[in-house]
Amino acid sequence: MTCWDIIGISPTVDKKAIKRAYASKLKKHRPDEDPEGFKQLRLAYEEALEEAKFYHPTQEQSPPQPSPVPAAENTTAQAAPHTQREIIDSDRVSCEQAVTELQQAVVELYEDFNARIQLGNWQAIFDQSKTWDMEVLQHIALGLLQFIGRNPFIPSEVISYLENQFAWEENHSWLQQYFEEDFLRYVLNRVIVCRWGLSYRDIRFPENSDLETVETYLRQRELLTYLLDAPEDDERDALLSALQGHNVQDPELYRLLSSLYLNEGDIARALQYSEQLNNTFSGNIDGHLRSANLYYRQGYFSAACSAYESALAVDEEHPLALKGLAACYLQRYDLFASKHLYEQALVQVPFDMEARIQLVQINQKIIQQGLEHLEKHPKDTREQRYVAEGYLETGAYHEAIQFLLPLTKSGFFSKADRDGEFHYLLGLAYEAIDQPEAAENAFNRSLNLAVMSGGNGYEALVKLGETAHANSKFKWAEKMLLQARHFNPESSKVLRLLAGSQFGLEKIDEALENINHAIRINSEEHHSYTIRAIIFMATENYAAEAADLKQVLEYCPTCCRHWHKLGLCLLKLQQPDEAMTAFENATLYNTARQDSALQWIQLALGTGNRDRAQLALEALERAEADPAQITIFKETIERMSSEVANEPNA
């Protein structure tokens, strides 16, 4: 079994893809639950990262074959048995009879709690409502709404189903003819809020509970939700004692009681109820998460750890449970396990800053641990790599350089950097402190070492391409990036840089093809829209350019350069008002922008807009434009004012 088989992806140079695959497999092999599996996975992961450096896609590889199309299933043979309750048959019974029978069916269904919470039972009654006679339909829509108003304890999926069948919300004005506004508002509001209301699943009533007992309990349970917001309610104690007197086993009740006591600062009782929830309904994630959070806050990290693990057993990708467990491992100083879990959480929620900040902290600790280890084992290249990466990940770039320089000098420790990885890290550190030449040298050396050792040098290629692109050395950039694309054709970054370089070489069609591909791969990368806007500008496709610039500005609304460009583009599209706004925004975010202020005032004067011209003049003054020019504009505006004043109707 190869490392790729173990982490479950095809060979690639894309480290992100490897990390994602690793994070995904990690769910099944947690370090504490399956240490052997974890070890094997971890080795496979490191091996994959290593092999990625040497991966060369071969020409012989045949394109993926389409999966055989499965034969069409015999749907008629497997069709569900016809369960529709045939209540309505317009030819047979009168409207009145039909309505009466339907109402009776609903009442019977509601009276049996376990039947009422099954959506299928409601579907059996109402699935053919669309074919009903209009009169029957209207009667039932009205009757059912009234019924729900009086008997509201129905699961949200049933309510949603009924709303879908009878469209009460849409027919609000029609319903107003039949119901008091307050009642109508109450029921329709309930139709909406029940979607996130209390669940009816898994409630266990004592045997022989009658309808009244059930309804009383459910009503009191809802009242408890209001207590969460008004803990000092006079009825609190009576309500709690009544609810507990019913002896109902209900996950929502335990959860609500836990929340209530937590709000009141009674952590012990909050924990008691979350534990009761876990013990009675172990498949319910809410109790595990709540217990874990409470244990963690109390400093009981082992208990918190177990509770988070139980939560992950219910939902293996739950981000709060992943982060919580990672925090517990961090408390135990199990740095790598913690790091992996935070990385896994980031795969689930890429915007999560908690995981990102924790990773920075962990890297600080990894440096400390690594340096101690290196004192005893100074030639351990793996540990050296961890430390160097740690420095980069915490922003300690000067320390990274000081640490890496001896490792990258030939002779002493030269074996340490056989594949150029330390040179690559050194390049990153130089790049971060704005030393582009030193960075380029390091990346070049990294590439040479990688190639000499049979590797692909993919990451160094990307960096060299990026650096060359930034320095307008487009030919060299294209060469590097074409090689990089060969190794990873689906990297949006490579495609974007390649497009930028090809545009610099006036290879417009190729540039456009690559940038479109980059956007198809990652439509949220705003830099790609910037590049494409430039290409559209060059090809005089102003409408498309404006659309891309707006996309960029949505991400970066304070970027004056793009506002200015958008203004110019809108001018070409003969949209002077919108162009003025764009120029105005450019001056708003950069007061020194004379060119934007100048465009703005010229447009305002050209369109006879005196007020905006006055504002633009102020922007021009703030930008410290040529005083002679300012005077001319001032006079023009004054002239406009006096002309307006002298108009007969002014």
Stretch that binds another protein, among 205-213, 494-502, 520-528, 529-537 (CB under 8 A): 520-528
According to the binding rule CB under 8 A, does residue 230 interact with another protein? no
Stretch that binds another protein, among 55-63, 231-239, 358-366, 368-376 (CB under 8 A): 358-366
> SS3 for 379-414, per residue?
CCHHHHHHHHHHHHHCCCHHHHHHHHHHHHCCCCCH
Residue nearer to another protein on the CB measure, 48 or 326: 326
According to the binding rule CB under 8 A, does residue 352 interact with another protein? yes
Partnered with residue 249 across adjacent β-strands are: 204
Residue nearer to another protein on the CB measure, 345 or 598: 345
Give the residue among 505, 502, 482 at the shortest CA–CA distance from 494: 482
Residue nearer to another protein on the CB measure, 139 or 339: 339
- Interior angle at CA 96, CA 95 and CA 99, nearest 5: 85
Provide the minimum distance between the beta carbon of 458 and another protein in the complex, in angstroms, as a whole number: 20
Provide the minimum distance between the beta carbon of 399 and another protein in the complex, in angstroms, as a whole number: 8
According to the binding rule CB under 8 A, does residue 232 interact with another protein? no
Phi/psi for 95 (5° steps) reads -60, -45
Provide the minimum distance between the beta carbon of 397 and another protein in the complex, in angstroms, as a whole number: 6
Provide the minimum distance between the beta carbon of 340 and another protein in the complex, in angstroms, as a whole number: 18
According to the binding rule CB under 8 A, does residue 390 interact with another protein? no
Provide the minimum distance between the beta carbon of 363 and another protein in the complex, in angstroms, as a whole number: 9
According to the binding rule CB under 8 A, does residue 262 interact with another protein? yes
The residue within the footprint of another protein, chosen from 124, 184, 242, 349 (CB under 8 A), is 349
Stretch that binds another protein, among 35-43, 315-323, 542-550, 638-646 (CB under 8 A): 315-323
According to the binding rule CB under 8 A, does residue 350 interact with another protein? yes
According to the binding rule CB under 8 A, does residue 156 interact with another protein? yes
120 vs 109: CA distance, rounded Å:
11
Stretch that binds another protein, among 39-47, 122-130, 351-359, 376-384 (CB under 8 A): 351-359
According to the binding rule CB under 8 A, does residue 192 interact with another protein? yes
On whether the CB atoms of residues 75 and 27 are closer than 8 A, the answer is no
3-state SS, residue 302: helix
Provide the minimum distance between the beta carbon of 321 and another protein in the complex, in angstroms, as a whole number: 10
Q: Which of residues 92-121 bind another protein (CB under 8 A)?
A: none
Residue nearer to another protein on the CB measure, 57 or 319: 319
Provide the minimum distance between the beta carbon of 570 and another protein in the complex, in angstroms, as a whole number: 22
Q: Give the CA distances from residue 638 to residues 97, 594, 605, 622, 645, in Å, rounded to whole numbers and listed in that order.
A: 83, 21, 11, 19, 10
Provide the minimum distance between the beta carbon of 297 and another protein in the complex, in angstroms, as a whole number: 8
Tokens 């999560």 belong to 352
In this structure, the number of other CB atoms found within 10 A of the CB of residue 377 comes to 10
The residue within the footprint of another protein, chosen from 199, 209, 331, 636 (CB under 8 A), is 199
Tokens 């793996």 belong to 382
Which residue intervals of 458-525 are DSSP H helices? 458-470, 474-487, 492-504, 508-521
In this structure, the chain runs to a length of 650
According to the binding rule CB under 8 A, does residue 524 interact with another protein? yes
Provide the minimum distance between the beta carbon of 416 and another protein in the complex, in angstroms, as a whole number: 24
The residue within the footprint of another protein, chosen from 206, 283, 395, 454 (CB under 8 A), is 395
DSSP conformational letter for 9: S
Stretch that binds another protein, among 4-12, 163-171, 352-360, 531-539 (CB under 8 A): 352-360
Residue nearer to another protein on the CB measure, 483 or 491: 491
According to the binding rule CB under 8 A, does residue 562 interact with another protein? no
194 vs 159: CA distance, rounded Å:
8
Stretch that binds another protein, among 14-22, 147-155, 224-232, 451-459 (CB under 8 A): 224-232
Tokens 């692109």 belong to 469
The residue within the footprint of another protein, chosen from 25, 53, 116, 323 (CB under 8 A), is 323
The answer for residues whose C-beta is within 8 angstroms of residue 135's C-beta and 6 or more apart is: 95
Q: What letters, b where the CB count within 10 A reaches 16 and e where it falls short, cover 362-376?
A: bbebbbebbeebbee
Stretch that binds another protein, among 254-262, 298-306, 507-515, 599-607 (CB under 8 A): 254-262
Provide the minimum distance between the beta carbon of 447 and another protein in the complex, in angstroms, as a whole number: 25
238 vs 252: CA distance, rounded Å:
19
On whether the CB atoms of residues 291 and 271 are closer than 8 A, the answer is yes
DSSP conformational letter for 178: T
Provide the minimum distance between the beta carbon of 252 and another protein in the complex, in angstroms, as a whole number: 7
The answer for residues whose C-beta is within 8 angstroms of residue 638's C-beta and 6 or more apart is: none
Phi/psi for 237 (5° steps) reads -65, -40
Which residue intervals of 204-350 are DSSP H helices? 211-229, 236-245, 251-263, 267-280, 285-298, 301-314, 319-331, 335-348
Quote the radius of gyration of the chain (alpha carbons, Å).
Answer: 34
Stretch that binds another protein, among 36-44, 70-78, 223-231, 566-574 (CB under 8 A): 223-231
According to the binding rule CB under 8 A, does residue 320 interact with another protein? yes
On whether the CB atoms of residues 99 and 138 are closer than 8 A, the answer is no
Residue nearer to another protein on the CB measure, 391 or 503: 391
Give the residue among 299, 300, 319, 307 at the shortest CA–CA distance from 277: 307
DSSP conformational letter for 204: B
Q: Which of residues 604-623 bind another protein (CB under 8 A)?
A: 622
According to the binding rule CB under 8 A, does residue 396 interact with another protein? yes
On whether the CB atoms of residues 29 and 38 are closer than 8 A, the answer is yes
DSSP conformational letter for 300: -
The residue within the footprint of another protein, chosen from 394, 488, 501, 502 (CB under 8 A), is 394
According to the binding rule CB under 8 A, does residue 455 interact with another protein? no
461 vs 467: CA distance, rounded Å:
10
The residue within the footprint of another protein, chosen from 121, 165, 220, 293 (CB under 8 A), is 293
On whether the CB atoms of residues 255 and 277 are closer than 8 A, the answer is yes
Provide the minimum distance between the beta carbon of 4 and another protein in the complex, in angstroms, as a whole number: 26
Residue window 423-442: x/- pattern of binding to another protein, with contact defined by CB under 8 A = ----------xx--------
Host H or E run for residue 262: helix 251-263
Residue nearer to another protein on the CB measure, 624 or 643: 624
The residue within the footprint of another protein, chosen from 13, 253, 256, 533 (CB under 8 A), is 256
587 vs 618: CA distance, rounded Å:
10
On whether the CB atoms of residues 484 and 465 are closer than 8 A, the answer is yes
According to the binding rule CB under 8 A, does residue 333 interact with another protein? no
The residue within the footprint of another protein, chosen from 356, 475, 520, 639 (CB under 8 A), is 356
Residues near another protein (CB under 8 A) are 156, 192, 195-199, 225, 228-229, 252, 255-256, 259, 262-263, 285-286, 289, 293, 297, 318-320, 323-324, 349-354, 356-358, 360-361, 364, 393-398, 433-434, 524-526, 555, 588, 591, 622
